[in-house]
């Protein structure tokens, strides 16, 4: 996984979370973790966050869950139904999904199909109500599914300074908490920067 890509995603997420004019939901996909690389995991993670912004929907969602007979929310169809309700109810929301390329093609297709459909439907009634940012490497199937999306391509040189600033900020926080000396902190910073790579940002909507 591209460390630089994920660091930049974290910067974006932090910025969005500080803006209370909209709800923000996010998810980090991880190829090596089965519970973080399929569509139902993404849907569940986003749903739990969005319900915090619309607590009045909790009883309805709980009733739907009980009626489904599932011990855990495992049905993509039900998860989509509940997310759709959140998108319709919450005035404005941003969704950020990092590492979509770490899901297999079948799972990526389900995620992309659902979110592109939801953005289109929301835009028909209220343009800008829902915006989704996919952060991913440049895979043909992703590009094909997002032909109408705005795409921002980043090279290692483009994100070098942002990554360096973010890593430095967090390394200082770690140093203060764990009393790590300057030499160790410098090693941590350099190691993280070396592993950072360029990436492609694919954003659904303007």
The full length of the chain comes to 206
Q: What is the pLDDT of residue 3?
A: 60
Residue 204 has pLDDT above 50, yes or no: no
Could you identify the residue written with the tokens 């910025």?
15
Residue 158 has pLDDT above 90, yes or no: no
DSSP 90: S
Comparing CA positions, the residue from 56, 135, 44 lying closest to residue 96 is 135
The neighbour count for residue 139, using CB atoms within 10 Å, is: 15
**N- to C-terminal Cα separation, the chain:** 27
Q: What is the pLDDT of residue 197?
A: 52
Comparing CA positions, the residue from 88, 97, 181, 192 lying closest to residue 146 is 97
Q: What is the pLDDT of residue 36?
A: 93
Q: What is the rounded distance in angstroms from the CA atom of residue 135 to the CA atom of residue 10? A: 11
Helices then strands, each counted (H, E), the chain:
8, 5
Angle at CA of residue 198, ends 181 and 120, nearest 5°: 120
Residue 106 has pLDDT above 50, yes or no: yes
Q: What is the pLDDT of residue 161?
A: 78
DSSP 74: -
CB 166 within 8 A of CB 11: yes
Output the 3-class SS for 11-36. HHHHHHHHCCCCEEEEEECCCCCHHH
Q: What is the pLDDT of residue 11?
A: 87
Q: How far is CA 3 from CA 37, 163, 166, 169, 194, in A?
A: 17, 9, 12, 16, 9
CB 171 within 8 A of CB 188: yes
Describe the chain by its helix, strand, coil percentages, rounded to 5. 60, 15, 25
Task: Tell me the pLDDT tens digit for each residue of 56-101.
Answer: 999 998 898 888 887 788 899 999 999 999 999 999 999 999 999 9
The four Cα atoms 151, 155, 156, 159 give a dihedral, to 10 degrees, of: -40
Task: Tell me the pLDDT tens digit for each residue of 8-59.
Answer: 888 899 999 999 899 999 999 998 898 899 999 999 999 999 999 899 999 9
Q: How far is CA 79 from CA 38, 101, 114, 166, 206, in A?
A: 13, 21, 11, 34, 26
Domains of the chain, CATH where assigned: 3-155+198-204 (3.40.50)
């Amino acid at each position: 996984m591209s460390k630089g890509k994920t660091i930049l995603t974290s910067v974006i997420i932090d910025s969005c979370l500080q803006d209370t004019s909209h709800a923000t939901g996010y998810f980090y996909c991880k190829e090596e973790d089965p519970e973080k690389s399929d569509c139902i995991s993404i849907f569940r993670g986003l749903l739990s966050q969005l319900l915090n912004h619309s607590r009045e929907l909790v009883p309805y969602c709980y009733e739907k869950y009980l009626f489904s007979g599932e011990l855990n929310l495992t049905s993509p169809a039900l998860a989509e139904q509940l997310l759709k309700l959140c998108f319709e109810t919450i005035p404005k929301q941003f969704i950020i999904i990092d590492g979509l390329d770490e899901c297999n093609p079948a799972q990526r297709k389900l995620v992309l199909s659902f979110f592109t459909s939801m953005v289109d439907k929301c835009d028909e009634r209220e343009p800008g109500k829902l915006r989704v940012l996919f952060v991913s490497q440049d895979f043909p199937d992703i590009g094909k599914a997002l032909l109408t999306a705005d795409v921002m391509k980043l090279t290692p040189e483009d994100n070098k300074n942002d990554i360096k600033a973010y890593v430095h900020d967090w390394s200082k926080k770690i140093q203060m908490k764990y009393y790590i000396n300057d030499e160790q902190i410098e090693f941590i910073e350099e190691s993280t920067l070396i592993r950072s790579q360029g990436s492609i940002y694919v954003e659904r909507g303007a």
